[in-house]
Structure 1
Amino acid sequence: MPDHTPNHDLRRRIDELGPWFHNMELDGIRTAPDHFLGDYPGFQWERLRPALPADLGGLNVLDIGCNAGYFSIRLKQEGAARVLAVDHDPRYLAQARLAAEVAGVAVEFREMSVYDLPRLGERFDLVLFMGVLYHLRHPLLALDLIHAHAAADLLVVQSLERGAGTAGALAADHDFSEHAIFDRDDYPRLHFVEHAYAGDPSNWWIPNRACTEAMLRSAGFTILSRPADEIYLCRRR
């Protein structure tokens, strides 16, 4: 006789929406128990949370590239007044809607990319931009659009980084004859991936730390802190 218990039905719904990149626990069921990063993105949240305002009450939040909605749900659970979560992938949004349903929280989901931000027509107290930058063909444009059309105050950025993990001081200008500066390991570098990285053809540009920080400054953000490797808390200038 078929098993129609609520837990069995949830397992079926989770499997139908797979594979999942967010390893979430939905009513005791792990969505990606064999994830190569383990408890992802749970461990990222633990690294990020201490850097966020202690009281999230009343905040209007935008989660760009929400995937299965882990961060959106956590922010709503911790008191954010409103969370709008966007992603270009309808399957990720279906996963996120299921996760929010199981968690019993009200999150708004919308299918759109970071390049669509101008049509939102509103700004947010807190913008999350986690694990998206290196998947974009036009990463600096994306940061410019966030600055111009979304972030009213705080921005959190997490990006995969490769190369030197240091960011040295650089002069504001260099003579045309200068060559050596470009060979420094801590010079801002954006590594272009022509085909794929880690089996993923959507990995387009991978910055080093100096490049991530330089792009954030260039787009009009002040870096307040780096609470963990590859994570930046910024304020809009």
Structure 2
Amino acid sequence: MSQRPSQDAIRAGATALGDWFHNIDLHGVWTAPDHPLGNHPGQFWQHFSHVLPADMTGMSVLDIGCNGGFYALEMKRRGAARVLGIDHDETYLEQARFAARTLGQEIEFRRMEVYDVGALGERFDLVIFLGVLYHLRHPLLALDLIHEHVAKDLLLFQCMQRGTTEVAPVAEDYPFTDAAPFEAPGFPRLQFIEHRYAGDLTNWWVPNRACAEAMLRNTGFEILQNPDPEVYLCRRTAPAYGAAAVYPARGAGAV
């Protein structure tokens, strides 16, 4: 059995990997102790950690946009058999590999875009998709691809929301001349950011609450729980009629 590295060695290794967005406890060494959001994402995780099984023995997990690996590590702590984290940023992936290695957790991390998940060729019992959707130029496509290719059962989803939290009932159809529903506060609305939001060029789309929930339902994810205003635990079901990642759509029977 290899000897655990000293805290000085861990601190030096973590520092060499640059600034961390995930504050992770590496045997007493915190990777982002001065994080502007506090103990992030640990504090946030406490709001919804209870919706996932405490014992995940035998489960497979895909963490999309894994960043420094906080959630992937939490899944392994709960006993998940296979955990795969993907991210487009190699710096984050190096941080995640370092954290997993330091904590003695066997987790695979790959550089991959969410749009390429079909190349994985496998489905996962749980897909984690937190804090990613609003960074994507093609958000609905990403949800379609997750549904079609990698989600087997559960989806843990979070997206920044802005605008009203009201969710108005929507009709199955509207006459072409009826523009009034689009002015209703609770109508599903996805707002486009042309330049920057919060100084971030990768913030592209921000839904209101009604839109986030409608997008999940439309792509075939039944909302089971909403433990935090922006967090949803969903189950994979058949997508709404016309939903698919390719055109022409396969229709309501697609599963």
Q: Same fold (TM over 0.5)?
A: yes
Task: Pick which of 74-83 and 21-30 moved more.
Answer: 21-30
The residue that corresponds to 2:79 in the other structure is 79
SS of residue paired to 2:11: helix
Counterparts of 1:35 and 1:84, CA distance in 2: 25
The residue that corresponds to 2:106 in the other structure is 106
The residue that corresponds to 2:215 in the other structure is 215
Task: Pick which of 134-143 and 13-22 moved more.
Answer: 13-22
Deviation at 1:206, TM superposition (A): 0.9
Unaligned residue ranges in structure 1 (runs of 5+)? none
The residue that corresponds to 2:41 in the other structure is 41
Deviation at 1:57, TM superposition (A): 1.0
Counterpart amino acid of residue 232 in structure 2: Y
Counterparts of 1:54 and 1:24, CA distance in 2: 20
Residues 50-92 of structure 1, C-alpha deviation per residue, up to 9 Å, x if partnerless?
A: 1112321110111001000000001101111110111111000
Kindly report which structure 2 residues correspond to 1:1-237, keeping only aligned pairs within 5 A, or say none: 6-237=6-237
Task: Pick which of 144-153 and 218-227 moved more.
Answer: 218-227
Unaligned residue ranges in structure 2 (runs of 5+)? 238-255
SS of residue paired to 1:47: coil
Counterparts of 1:85 and 1:12, CA distance in 2: 24
SS of residue paired to 1:67: coil
Counterpart amino acid of residue 142 in structure 2: A
Task: Pick which of 157-166 and 49-58 moved more.
Answer: 49-58
Counterparts of 1:103 and 1:173, CA distance in 2: 53
Residues 182-226 of structure 1, C-alpha deviation per residue, up to 9 Å, x if partnerless?
A: 111111111111111111111111111111111111111111111
Runs of 4 or more consecutive aligned structure 1 residues displaced over 6 Å after TM superposition: none
Counterparts of 2:196 and 2:91, CA distance in 1: 22
Residues 67-121 of structure 1, C-alpha deviation per residue, up to 9 Å, x if partnerless?
A: 0000000110111111011111100000001111121111111110111111000
Counterparts of 2:36 and 2:184, CA distance in 1: 33
SS of residue paired to 2:191: strand
Counterparts of 1:162 and 1:144, CA distance in 2: 23
Counterparts of 2:173 and 2:56, CA distance in 1: 41
TM-score of the aligned structures, taking structure 1 as reference length: 0.95
Counterparts of 1:199 and 1:35, CA distance in 2: 17
Deviation at 1:166, TM superposition (A): 2.2
Counterparts of 1:188 and 1:172, CA distance in 2: 13
Counterparts of 2:10 and 2:235, CA distance in 1: 40
Deviation at 1:11, TM superposition (A): 1.6
Residues 142-173 of structure 1, C-alpha deviation per residue, up to 9 Å, x if partnerless?
A: 00000000001000101111111122211111
Asked whether the 8 Å contact 2:54–2:78 carries over to 1, the reply is no
Deviation at 1:7, TM superposition (A): 2.0
